[in-house]
Structures are given as structure tokens and as C-alpha cells.
Structure 1
């Protein structure tokens, strides 16, 4: 029990930056995301299979893929470059699989990558030479063009094009903290597996990198395998080249767009290039109400009947004919819109990669901010589109909560970009929720009446959004609080919490604030007597939780802010006996050994079956109180992995970061099962104890590490079931 894992279904939820088809094997297709790993299409199951869940908590930085490449001569070999941010200071990695992504090895790259930086759909930056599979090229953002001659194991800069590399300390000062760099590589050949490296190669150069490196052209060509390069005069300058593709007849199609994206604005142009002449096929210029860019580009066939699919970005498809995907069946002479206002689903905005199925020209897919969408009848007068997100879960979970036994729902989920979700069935997309804020940072329910739910968040991109709402009918309908916490609008931050003591009674703790309570759904708010928290270079906030057996008891945990604040402050624990109105500090919390850490690496939980039974993890330790926080015991169970870091700093791997208590199995010696994320006996993972923390067993394995695990929420009805927020991979649960 509890050793298998799967996703709670949301369905998509995040930005898929690229789709990569194998050119000679039907239905072999990969998807790369900006923060949530990569997937392979499983045609038998009609679903996407995650192929990066093996990444450990130490590897969270590598959960985004900047580029993927497939070997045209070996359909089992796949490459994936990873690393979230070019400005971060860490170099990227290249992962290689020889079994279609079931298993991977990696090498450290000698340059940085930016899977979640602007322009992350540009490319593909990584390409395999179709005539000599050992040769790979990589167009980096800030370090020029690189080449490997040994299947990606070692790399050298192609200095014949440019030797310029941005100094590391200058990258963070660039607009958007990144450059377009070498934006794409194209091999101009129709042959494969010839044994001799392809001689004619094109490289696209972004305007920012080109200016810094002294490259005056947007496109360069080599006819001697990269030994020398010649600039090609393009019909427009100062534009990015998000995609360039080659048709079977050798014609090259190139999209030019003024902005980097995602969802790049224009002006924008599409040209075809025969090696000498440029022919304009499509153009958009900014107008009063629209500013269309170009993103995705794919071709099928050759000659005068070449099919071209063009993704139009920064377009929202909200009137008939407004471009989302433009299709031409005569090599660009005429065009028609095939998605806007068509039957079924539509998905506009970030149409930054479009692919025509190499084996079925009527099957067209494109990416967007919430996943992937496809049509299988592109040639019809009104193609039908439908989301293709089965298996893809890319939400960024910020808060989780399970209700008491008997509730009409199973899980409360607050996530980035998608608001609050009430999950009634785990394997079906939720139908209840609210999106009045972009990021839902806290959510809780009344234990005496689970129909009452309160949620807090930050409006973000939601126009007219709010910071706090409540529901009296288990999330079917929602009402804005009559007024908000006085500091909610000025102290927005993802580190915040909310606790419900009983219906209409809420304690709200925004970032960098004094928590306040309401007894009337926000008609009035009154500050508690808890000390105000100021930022310490990063935000901080109180973890607030209500006792489930006695709603008059409320607990507040201030983790101290950040590890560097340990010389100025300590962590603090406070308890209330009047419903969270006034609090008393526990004098013994610090003396028990509580340490200082940030909000995101600390957690508090109560035993729902025993009054005053409180558990805290401070990043390194588990602390336990059975008298409502008056006295504490530190358990000598977890120990951090310091690695190369000194013990006055912070560990490379924190040893106790989240804790939750849920339904105990029959015969257990303690009234709840305890779950933690941490390190026991030198092994990081998710652990469970059924005997009050006397013994523990790991319930995940090395194939299921998800680049790190955040919040836990243990089920109150099903023993052995715990929900967890995976790193960009949505919500997972054990079963």
C-alpha cells in the first residue's frame, strides 16, 4: 500500500513549449514543457507518458527542457537539454536516452540554458545531423553555436561563426534576463545516414546576440560542415526567427517575429527561401486593436501543393476568422483560418509551435499556454479541434488540503495560474473551482461543516480579480469576502496561509503582514496580536492551522524567514484558545531545537483525531507537541544532506520540509498516519509512519521523484493515500 503513484487529473494546465516528431517512425512524438519535464506520446493508450519523473529533488532546476532532438536514424535515441534559467548561474545538462525516454544518462553542458526564459519555444535549438548521427549542434542563448561529434558527450563552440559569449555577470542585466542567441539550426539535406556529416547548414541569429557578437545578419549558412559561415541578406532585420523548416523539395520556410514570446507580438513575416530569392507569403503589422506575431511553423509535401501550417501568436481568436492557425495548401499563395470559431475546443494566444503529422497531413497539433490541442480533419471546411492533454499534468501547486471524512469532495488544490480547484473525482477533471485570482496561495475548510471553504490568492493577470473568497456549497458557487484582509492587496506573495475555524470564521495571514480574523465572512477584519512579519530579502508569512477537534484552538508558526536570518531571529510558535483572535507564544519551541528556514521549506500539521496534537517540520527536524504547543519534543529522525555546504549555511538537501497526518490503517498504534518529505538514513523521499513516528518507511522510489515534492495533504478517509505537489507535474497521490 502506498508504493504506487499517479496524477490527480487536471488536464494540461501549463505551457508546452515544443513538439518533436520522429521523421520516419509513425506516432513517435515528444512534448517538452518549460517547468514540468517531458512526455512521449503513447498511441495505444491515446495518452502522454511522463518521461522525466525520475529527476530527484536535487534536480528540480532541470525539470524544464529548452530543446529536444531525435536521431533520424535511430528512433530509440532521444536528447533533451534541461535547465530553467540562463541567468541563474548554473549550466544546463544534456540528457540522452537510447530507449525512447524510459531511462536516461546525462552530461553537464559547458553553457547555460533557459527552458523557462522568454522565447522558450524558439528552435529547435538542438539538432542531430541526419547524415551522421554522432554530430549534434546546439544554438545557445548567450554563448553562440556549439557542436558535438560524439553523440553529445563533449562540446566545443563553433568559433568559425562567433566566439562571443556573454560574461555570466552580464546575463542578468539583459532585457528579460536572456538573449535570443543562436535561435535555430537547420540541415539542408534530404538524405539520411550517409555516413558523412551534412555540409550545408543554416543558423538563425537573434538580434540581441547578433548585435553583441558583431553578427550583422539574421541568418548564416555554411557549405563546408560548419568550417566557415556566410551571412545571408534577409528581407527584414531586427527580428527573431522562431522557426525555420525545410520542405522535401529543398524550399526553406522562415518565420520572422519582432518579439521573443511566448505569445510574441509583431510585426511578423513569413517568407520562403530557395537559396537565392525570398518570397513573402504572409505578414502582420500592429494595428489599433491587434498585434499578431508568428510562432509555430510546419510544412508537408513539396512544390506548388506544399501544405503550410502557421501559428499566429498574441491572437485570442475571439471573432470569426481571427487568426490562430493559418493553413495554406498552395505553398503560401492563399490562406484560410482553420481554428478560430470552429467546432469543438479552441486554444489561442501562445501558438508557438505547430506540427503537421509527417504521416497524416490532416492531423495538426499545436502548443498553447494550457497544453496541446489537435485536429484530425484539417482539410475540412470547419476542422474540429480537441485538447490532447491526457497524461499531461503541469500545474504548479501552491497549497493542498483534504477535507474530513464524509465531505462531498476529496481534495482542495490551490495552484499557480489556475486558481482554486475542488476535486470531487481524482481521475476526472475538476468541475468546481474559481479563477478570480491567478495564484491560489491558501485554501481551507471548516471541519464541522466541510461545505464551507475559504480560499486566498493573488489576482495576477485576472482583470478585476480579488484576494479572498468563500463557498457555502463545497465549491459549487463562490462569494467574495465582503472586505479583504487590510494588507492583502499591498502584500501579495505566494507565501501566505488561511485557516477556517468554523463557517464564516477565518484567520488570514498574507505575506509580510499581521494575520487578521473575521467572524462574519469579511464584513469586518480584526488584527490578531501576532507580531508583524517583514520581508528578509524574500517574503515570509505565518503558517496558520486550526485544531480539528477543538476549533477554538488555532496555531501559528513563524519559521524565521530564511536561513540567513538565523543570526537576527529564531523560529516561533504561537497558540490561541479563542478561535485565533489572540495568541500566546510557546516559550519552549526554540529550546526544543527549532531552526530558522523559509516558509517554503517548513510546514505545520495537526492530528485531526486528537486535540492539541501538533507537528512541525522546520526544514531539518520534526518537532511534536501533545499539549497544543506549550511544550515540544524534537525527534531525532531526519538529518540533512550538507554536501559541500558548511553547516552554518543551508544544506544541499533539506531533511524535513512538509508534513501531514491522515487516516491510519486498521491496527495502527497511533491514531493517524504521518507523512513527511525529507531525508531519513541519508535517503530523500516521501516517508510514512503508522506508529507515531517511531518507525518510518519510504513510499516513493527513484522512478517517482518528480524533481522534488512540495506540499503534502493526507487523506482522511483512505488509509495510505497522501496527496503531494510535484515540481511542475501537478498533484500526485499514493495508492
Structure 2
């Protein structure tokens, strides 16, 4: 997509491969692209229903783009796969707005970080066809789709009285902005008096982010515009003249700005235009979750009568934990005035609570509660079959169920057209049900016996299930394709073993908080190894499977490596007899095991942090690279020596891999390091890393991997995510690297994709690639 054109067509699943000079065949292959199904895996920060068009629903995520609901298939369609590496921050969606008048119009405020981690400023994307194509309105400041407070809002809204007019709340002193031409151009609302000042921790680079202007809402009875601001002393403003002038709402600071000495801010709002109520949920933690230390008594639900200005505290008075930790999402039922729901924030144990009121907040019922003896009783069952990994390989522990209501529940929405349907987003998935009104006939969860003890009352429960199918938001770090089995290392959820790419699987049972590296024995693929970050000191970082990933056990811990973090990289020799682990962020040099991880021995000749890869043919040969030096071992990895290779980059090397079926063939890919003045690119060696030839096609390369050879060539197909002619893409060679074809196009770029890549050993043309928030993508040559 060209910046000047500012549009991108989202194809229906197929794309034409681009072939430049040196294409790898006369016939240009056409590729189809899909996700290996995980279902979710990241923070769904907002769910937005169109108020006038039934079943028109959008979901936004913090790093994985945005989606539109497809009612017929009950799946989500990705809308931002056209975002390329040059604008990768656009995959972080701060807010979405769907036009209630011209319902084909939709908008997304984008930008992943307010820090210089994201080299670009934020933007507002605008679409006239429900997200099929987009235009881009660049902004002169950054936005934080993956920063603290990203679940608050909505910060971007359409004025229902004049749908050409939109408002945008911004962070870090940039104030309130407005567009009067359907989001095409934007300007600051100069007379808006308060850009906000609330920061979580001024001494922390991330938590020092000023939350700014949080949300905008419309009172359609009186024509007022309300704006929530992250300033406990002045948290709410109103305009009664269409945004020409603004005034602080009387009593707002007392109502919204403090709870028991904790500063609080207005997280979210919801308007009931029938009864004239503006509901505001507050918390002292902008979220989505800054750890248990952020818990405590620090939130309210306040109701403002928009016609009289009267404030009423309608905070739920009871929490089984004994304190109200603050609130995230809040929503009203537009079909039943007086019905609203909200969710706790940071109610860490045993679960978050969803509250429901049918009398405008005067009384509330809980989604679960304790009887005496702390037996838990629930209003609904959680059906996680759509994402079996949501148990996190755990078991129910009394009140703490393995499958939870979730955490980080900022996205909580009752369908404005159907009171029975509700969806809520969490840090991992979307839950939903089409029978939430059954709650109202259940009565109380807890009663008293004759002795006055709290007892559970019988409740006819309804079912809440996974509603995230099609929304893939995992950040994937590594892949191994065994042929018929795909093993992945995944951020935040460990990793998976797929034997059916169309089916969600349980996560690998190793206790990884984040999987970082996987490998398998080339001549004995039943032996699979992986490594990841672990919490505490109970489990070793390395996981081992000897049955092709069906079952796993943790290897022994390595002395000197702390439990938290330090996943590093893992490798296994071609015959599966030795495992190698290089822990990250430690002074510990790589280690090896010749008893499947029962014991470990130090590798000699390598510095700490050096990656190890196995030759895919000869079990006694392994390779390593660190700081510009290439190493080789010929004694099964016990000792490594410098090959004396020259001309390789000294920094910014992301990947190197040995070639299946080709002894001594090694390929190396690197981004380089601009700060160090080190150029990147791609190199190949045919003599075990002693001499290297640079592939001049690429300026930089992220990764390299191999798959089944074409019929016309005996050399395995080579795949890379690389930069050629200034264009980032997924490239393939079938003749050993002489000629290359780009096999994706501008409609399928997935922001930052391909930090790891591999072909399939059994299916020619199939390629798997990692993404930073769009899960596992794989492509096949179309029939």
C-alpha cells in the first residue's frame, strides 16, 4: 500500500505473488494465506457494536489489529493485515468507532507505543466499506495501543447528531482533537481546557505515560457532549453547544477523583438515553493490569443525571474479597432502560467479578459468590472447548477455577439490538453468551440457613462460551515443522503442537509463561525440544518430548540460571542424542545434555548467549554464532571452535539455520544494527561455516527456513522474511538461492511478520511464519 494512495484492499484469502528480477520460476505462484488456529491469545481491549445496524460488531486488540464480526460463521475477519513493516505500529489499535448513521463507515485510532520504540506517529484510519479498504489520516503525535490504559475509552467516537464529526481523546498532553470531514483531517480542539495529568509512576519509562483524554460520550436527550479526562482534580467536562465551549461538570472531582485516599480516574462511560443517565466507572489503575500491587480499594460506579446534574454513588457494595478493587468495562442494555453491567479490575484471586443491575445501579448481583466454608457458586458455566488452552493446563483449586471469567476485562458490551447477547474481552480471549437475561430469573446465589450461615442456593445456570474464533492475536517467537506436526513457541501462552491446523489445541504442558525456541531431531522427529520463560524455581526452562509433542516433561534446572525469564534458545542434534540450551540474559554459557535433560554439562568454547543450531545431517556437527564469530563443533557439541569466517555482521543477526539433507550447508540472516553501523543481509556457507557468500538480493533479513524441494530442483525450498529493494516481504527460492520470488503482497503483510519462518518438509510451497500479534500464518500455493 502506498502512503499517497492511503488505501489497502483486503483480499478474500488469496493473493498473487509478486516476481521481480530473478524470479524463481516462469510461472508465478498464487498463494492462499490462513491462520493455524489458536483462537485468541492476546488482549482484546475493546468490542464495539454499531447502534443501528444489527450484527455489525468490531473488536480491537493491543498489538494484533482489529476485526469485524461475521454473523453467518460466528467468526471474526481481520481488517488490518495490509499493514506493513514500515508502519507496523498501526497494528496497535487504541480505539474504534462505528458510524450509527452511515453504518458502512468505521474508524480506528492506531499507534502501538507513545515511546520511541515505535518510529512513527499515530494515525486515524477511515473506511467507507466496513474495513474492506482504508484511508490514513496521519497525526502529529504518537498513540499507545499497547501502553497502560489501552482498554479505557472509547477515545474515538462519531457524533450521532452530525456523523461527519468525530472526536479523539489523546495521551501525553495532546488534548482533545476533532475531525469535521469523516476522519480525513484532524485538528486540536483549542478551547478544550484540560489535556490530563495522571501517570501511574513518573519514574518508570512505561508507567510514566500521561493517560490524557480518555473518552467521549453523547447525551442524545439534551445534546450534550461529555469528555472524561485523566485528572482526579478535574475529571469530567461537558459541552452544551456542540463543542464550541467546554465546562467542568460540577461535583465531578468529588464523585470521580478519589476513593479512600487513592487518586481515581474515569475509566469508561455508558449512557442511558432513555432514563437520562451517564454511568462512569473509575479506578486508580488505568490497567489493563499492573500486577497485584495495583489491587486495593480504588474504584466506584457513579451515575450522573444528565438533565439535573445530580450525582449518585451506585457502586456495588459487596465483593467476596472484602474490597472493591476498581472497575474496568461498563455497559448498558439499550433495550431495557435501567439494566447495566460492569466488571472488576485486578480482582486477582480467585477471579474477576461481573456485576449486573436491573434498577439503574441501586442493587447488584454477582456472577459468583461464596457460601460459608468458601464453597463457590456461579451463575454460568464456562465452555472453553473453542480454545482448550484456556485452562492453562491447570485444575480447579477450590474457588479458583482453571478456566476463569478472565482478567483485564475492559471490553464488556451488551448487544444494543439483542438483550440476550453479551461479549467481553480479556487478556486472552472473548467470552460471550446469547442468554444473559436468564441471569435475571435466577434469584440470589447465597441465602441463609436456620442458623444464619451463608449457604449456596440452587441456580439453573446458563453457558458462556468462546466467541473469539478467527481472531488470532498471539505473538509467536519460533516454529518447527516436522511434517504433519507444527510446534510453536508463543508469547504469554507458552506454545502449541498442531496436528490439525484448523483446530485449536491445548498449550504445551511445560509451565512456560512465554515459549521462546523450539527444535526437533531431523532424523528422529519424535524427539522435540523447546524452551521458555518460567516463573519461580520449580520447573526447568527446557521441555522435552519423545513422542512428537504429544507429551512433555521439564528438564532439570541449570545451576546459576534464575527461575524468572531466561528462556533463551534450544537445539537438538540430528539424531536426538544431545540437547543444547543457551539461556538468555545470564552469564551462564550454553549447556548440553546427553540424557534428555536429566543432567547438564557446560559447552566449551562459546560465550554466554551464543545460539546453537544442529547440522541437519551429521549428528556430531553443530554450529553457533555470536558477535560476528561463527563457531563449529565436530564432537557432538561438547566443544566449539572459531571457524575463522570473515565478512559476517558483528551485531543484529536474528537467525541462522542448517539445511535439511545438505551436510555442512548453513544460512545466516541478519537485520544489522543501525546504531552500531552494522549492515544486515543474508549469507550462505557450503563448508560448515568456514567461508560465506552474501546473497546480494537482500538489504536485511529477519529469518531463514527450509521446506520441501520443487520437482525441478533437488535443493530444499528456501524461505525468508527480508527487505529487498526497500520492500519488506516473504521471499522464496527453489534453486539454492540464485533467484527469489516475493510470495506475499501488500494486502497480506501482518505488520511485523516472519521473525521465524519455515517451510513444510512434506508439502511443496507451504510456508509457516511467526507474527507479532497475528498468530501463526501459513501459506499454500493455490490449486
* TMscore range, shorter length: 0.7 to 0.9
How far did 1:58 drift?
Answer: 1.1
Provide the C-alpha distance between the structure 1 equivalents of 2:129 and 2:69, rounded to a whole number of angstroms.
Answer: 14
User: Are 1:623 and 2:683 matched, yes or no?
Assistant: yes
1:646 alignment partner in structure 2: none
User: Are 1:392 and 2:392 matched, yes or no?
Assistant: no
2:171 alignment partner in structure 1: 141
User: Are 1:161 and 2:192 matched, yes or no?
Assistant: yes
Provide the C-alpha distance between the structure 1 equivalents of 2:650 and 2:219, rounded to a whole number of angstroms.
Answer: 57
Equivalent of residue 65 in structure 1, options 70, 93, 116: 93
User: Are 1:342 and 2:380 matched, yes or no?
Assistant: yes
How far did 1:432 drift?
Answer: 5.5
1:605 alignment partner in structure 2: 657
Bigger mean CA deviation after superposition, 338-347 or 441-450? 338-347
1:247 alignment partner in structure 2: 272
Bigger mean CA deviation after superposition, 381-390 or 616-625? 616-625
1:498 alignment partner in structure 2: 571
Closer, same or farther in 2 for the Cα pair 1:493/1:58, shift >3 Å? farther
Provide the C-alpha distance between the structure 2 equivalents of 1:147 and 1:172, rounded to a whole number of angstroms.
Answer: 32
Closer, same or farther in 2 for the Cα pair 1:493/1:74, shift >3 Å? farther
Provide the C-alpha distance between the structure 1 equivalents of 2:601 and 2:52, rounded to a whole number of angstroms.
Answer: 66
Q: SS in structure 2 opposite 1:60?
A: helix
Q: SS in structure 1 opposite 2:508?
A: strand
Provide the C-alpha distance between the structure 2 equivalents of 1:332 and 1:291, rounded to a whole number of angstroms.
Answer: 15
Provide the C-alpha distance between the structure 1 equivalents of 2:717 and 2:742, rounded to a whole number of angstroms.
Answer: 13
How far did 1:610 drift?
Answer: 1.5
User: Are 1:722 and 2:752 matched, yes or no?
Assistant: no
Equivalent of residue 708 in structure 1, options 739, 742, 752: 752
Q: Is the 8 A contact 2:193 2:246 kept in 1?
A: no
Q: SS in structure 1 opposite 2:639?
A: coil
5 Å-filtered alignment, 1:95-134, equals 95-134=125-164
Q: SS in structure 1 opposite 2:207?
A: helix
Q: SS in structure 1 opposite 2:719?
A: strand
Closer, same or farther in 2 for the Cα pair 1:503/1:635, shift >3 Å? closer
Q: Is the 8 A contact 2:435 2:462 kept in 1?
A: yes
How far did 1:314 drift?
Answer: 2.1
Q: Is the 8 A contact 1:497 1:542 kept in 2?
A: no
Provide the C-alpha distance between the structure 2 equivalents of 1:543 and 1:100, rounded to a whole number of angstroms.
Answer: 45
Q: Cα deviation per residue 1:154-174 (whole Å; 9 max; x = unaligned)?
A: 333223232658899x98857
Provide the C-alpha distance between the structure 2 equivalents of 1:71 and 1:261, rounded to a whole number of angstroms.
Answer: 27
Q: Cα deviation per residue 1:411-430 (whole Å; 9 max; x = unaligned)?
A: 11001111131111111012
How far did 1:344 drift?
Answer: 3.1
Provide the C-alpha distance between the structure 2 equivalents of 1:289 and 1:163, rounded to a whole number of angstroms.
Answer: 35
Q: Is the 8 A contact 2:530 2:542 kept in 1?
A: yes
Provide the C-alpha distance between the structure 1 equivalents of 2:532 and 2:323, rounded to a whole number of angstroms.
Answer: 31
Q: Is the 8 A contact 1:547 1:606 kept in 2?
A: yes
Q: Cα deviation per residue 1:62-106 (whole Å; 9 max; x = unaligned)?
A: 211001112221111111111111233742111111111111111
How far did 1:147 drift?
Answer: 1.8
User: Are 1:81 and 2:105 matched, yes or no?
Assistant: no
Equivalent of residue 224 in structure 1, options 241, 245, 248: 241
5 Å-filtered alignment, 1:401-420, equals 401-403=480-482, 405=483, 409-420=484-495
Q: SS in structure 2 opposite 1:279?
A: strand
Q: Is the 8 A contact 2:540 2:556 kept in 1?
A: no
Closer, same or farther in 2 for the Cα pair 1:294/1:40, shift >3 Å? same
Q: Is the 8 A contact 1:286 1:292 kept in 2?
A: no
Closer, same or farther in 2 for the Cα pair 1:424/1:580, shift >3 Å? same
Equivalent of residue 343 in structure 2, options 295, 311, 315: 311
User: Are 1:294 and 2:294 matched, yes or no?
Assistant: no
Provide the C-alpha distance between the structure 2 equivalents of 1:575 and 1:291, rounded to a whole number of angstroms.
Answer: 59
Closer, same or farther in 2 for the Cα pair 1:490/1:253, shift >3 Å? closer
Q: SS in structure 2 opposite 1:379?
A: helix
Provide the C-alpha distance between the structure 2 equivalents of 1:585 and 1:42, rounded to a whole number of angstroms.
Answer: 56
Q: Cα deviation per residue 1:586-638 (whole Å; 9 max; x = unaligned)?
A: 21x32xx3223325xx2112211121111112333221112212222222222
2:554 alignment partner in structure 1: 480
Provide the C-alpha distance between the structure 1 equivalents of 2:66 and 2:304, rounded to a whole number of angstroms.
Answer: 33
Q: Is the 8 A contact 1:467 1:488 kept in 2?
A: no
Equivalent of residue 689 in structure 1, options 724, 730, 733: 733
Provide the C-alpha distance between the structure 2 equivalents of 1:204 and 1:694, rounded to a whole number of angstroms.
Answer: 59
2:455 alignment partner in structure 1: none
Q: Is the 8 A contact 2:330 2:412 kept in 1?
A: yes
How far did 1:529 drift?
Answer: 2.3
Q: Is the 8 A contact 2:578 2:593 kept in 1?
A: yes
Q: Is the 8 A contact 1:402 1:411 kept in 2?
A: yes
Provide the C-alpha distance between the structure 1 equivalents of 2:380 and 2:622, rounded to a whole number of angstroms.
Answer: 53
Q: SS in structure 1 opposite 2:703?
A: strand
Q: Cα deviation per residue 1:176-216 (whole Å; 9 max; x = unaligned)?
A: 031221111112115xxxxxxx9521111113xx6xxxxx3
Q: Is the 8 A contact 1:410 1:423 kept in 2?
A: yes
Q: Cα deviation per residue 1:212-257 (whole Å; 9 max; x = unaligned)?
A: xxxx322111212223222221324231212111112221111121
Q: Is the 8 A contact 2:197 2:212 kept in 1?
A: no
Bigger mean CA deviation after superposition, 278-287 or 89-98? 278-287
How far did 1:477 drift?
Answer: 2.5
User: Are 1:657 and 2:702 matched, yes or no?
Assistant: yes
Equivalent of residue 274 in structure 1, options 305, 309, 312: 305
Q: Is the 8 A contact 1:284 1:292 kept in 2?
A: no
Q: Cα deviation per residue 1:469-492 (whole Å; 9 max; x = unaligned)?
A: 2122223332221332x4432894
Q: Is the 8 A contact 1:311 1:353 kept in 2?
A: no
1:577 alignment partner in structure 2: 634
Q: SS in structure 1 opposite 2:162?
A: coil
Unpaired runs of 5+ residues, structure 1, are 191-197, 211-215, 534-540, 561-570, 641-654
Provide the C-alpha distance between the structure 2 equivalents of 1:108 and 1:92, rounded to a whole number of angstroms.
Answer: 6
Provide the C-alpha distance between the structure 2 equivalents of 1:682 and 1:219, rounded to a whole number of angstroms.
Answer: 47
Equivalent of residue 333 in structure 1, options 349, 362, 365: 362
Q: Cα deviation per residue 1:20-71 (whole Å; 9 max; x = unaligned)?
A: 1111001000000001111000112211000000000112122110011122
User: Are 1:367 and 2:425 matched, yes or no?
Assistant: yes
2:436 alignment partner in structure 1: 378
How far did 1:342 drift?
Answer: 1.9
Q: Is the 8 A contact 1:7 1:730 kept in 2?
A: yes
Tell me the TM-score normalized by structure 2: 0.81
How far did 1:464 drift?
Answer: 4.4
Provide the C-alpha distance between the structure 1 equivalents of 2:206 and 2:198, rounded to a whole number of angstroms.
Answer: 15
Provide the C-alpha distance between the structure 1 equivalents of 2:141 and 2:315, rounded to a whole number of angstroms.
Answer: 35
1:699 alignment partner in structure 2: 743
Provide the C-alpha distance between the structure 2 equivalents of 1:84 and 1:677, rounded to a whole number of angstroms.
Answer: 22
Q: SS in structure 1 opposite 2:613?
A: strand
1:200 alignment partner in structure 2: 224
